[in-house]
Structure 1
Amino acid sequence: MSLAAETRRAAREHPFLVSALRAGVVNYTAAARFLDVGDAEAVATALRRYAEELPDYEPGPRKARITMESGVGPADEAEPLLSVGGTALAAGGGDRTAVLATGDVDSAALRTVLATLAVEDVAVHAAGVGGDALAVVVDRRAGSNALRTVESALESVP
């Protein structure tokens, strides 16, 4: 495998680095040292070339209605807000809060929401997207902060 191919493979193992390359905000030498796949100068050159081939990072707003549902917990019979495998979560007596976004949402929106919540140190207990709905479930006390964070995140989805 060529150094250029090895560099691209190593970069793809770190999605944050590929996003930074797309956005044009990378110190190539520092990134080359981080990847540690060969001579730093040669790897930095390979990263520059790789960045030129990537699509530009073009974030934009998503139109979505955002609401908050308190008292979310496991559900047997209620209509779930979020269901994965055999676990369903619905409003009605639980100790969590769900932030729901309906409209122009998809997996890219969910990825951005989760990354932004992580930066804000908001623990997410469950999350999903399907059709035109996105849901994240957080601790009850984190609900208001999560709502503001989701609103903000949906303003800059790449």
Structure 2
Amino acid sequence: MSSLAAATREAVDAHPFVRDGLRAGIVNYSAAARFLDVEGGTEAVATALRRYADELPQIASRDGEVRVTMQSGIGRSEGSFLAVAGTSYGECSGPLTAILATGDVDGRFLATVANRLAGAEISLEALGLADESVVVIVDRRDASTALATVEDAATGYS
């Protein structure tokens, strides 16, 4: 692999949204080449991007199902609904709400949920993945929007 191709792949891998765009087949290669700012000229980098895109697996739709539920009254407590770095969240009449997505979920789904919640300007108290479950903990005031956002992510997840 030439150094331009390697530099282009490295730049793409440093920007996962560009990699996802390549996988989805929705990238303007010249614009992506300018964005990545790899030395070698826009057209040469665009060509390297096309070649890399041809090697990447396309984004495929998932066959599994995701069930999304919501539970209010969550707060910091010993009864653990989610524990992150020594902080536990559980049922305790707290001011938070947990959104739980179970089923065909993985790290990519977790990233999709996090990105969509950020786009909806919802602040996260905590976020976790374990045993085919994703847990999102938000302030009670953001719960309905967070629920709709996670449900939408589950239906459009690929």
State the TM-score, normalizing by the size of structure 1.
0.92
The equivalent of 2:74 in structure 1 is: 72
- Give a deviation string over 1:36-64, Cα, whole Å, max 9, x none: 11211100110011101100012336412
Q: 1:61 to 1:152 in 2, by over 3 A?
A: farther
The equivalent of 2:54 in structure 1 is: 52
The equivalent of 2:131 in structure 1 is: 131
Cα distance in 2, alignment partners of residues 139 and 69 from structure 1: 12
Letter in 2 for 1:51: A
SS in 2 for 1:155: helix
Cα distance in 2, alignment partners of residues 117 and 30 from structure 1: 27
Considering Cα pairs closer than 8 Å and 6+ residues apart, tell me whether 1 or 2 has the greater RCO. 1
Cα distance in 1, alignment partners of residues 50 and 149 from structure 2: 33
The equivalent of 1:98 in structure 2 is: 98
Q: How does 1:15-94 map to 2 (within 5 A)?
A: 15-38=16-39, 39-60=41-62, 62-76=64-78, 78=79, 80-94=80-94
User: RMSD in angstroms over aligned alpha carbons?
Assistant: 1.4
Identity of aligned residues (%): 50
Cα deviation for residue 72 of structure 1 reads 1.3
Q: Which runs of 4+ in 1 moved over 2 A?
A: 59-62
SS in 2 for 1:3: helix
SS in 1 for 2:58: coil
Aligned residues: 156
Unaligned runs of 5+ in 1: none
Cα distance in 1, alignment partners of residues 7 and 29 from structure 2: 15
Q: How does 1:4-23 map to 2 (within 5 A)?
A: 4-23=5-24
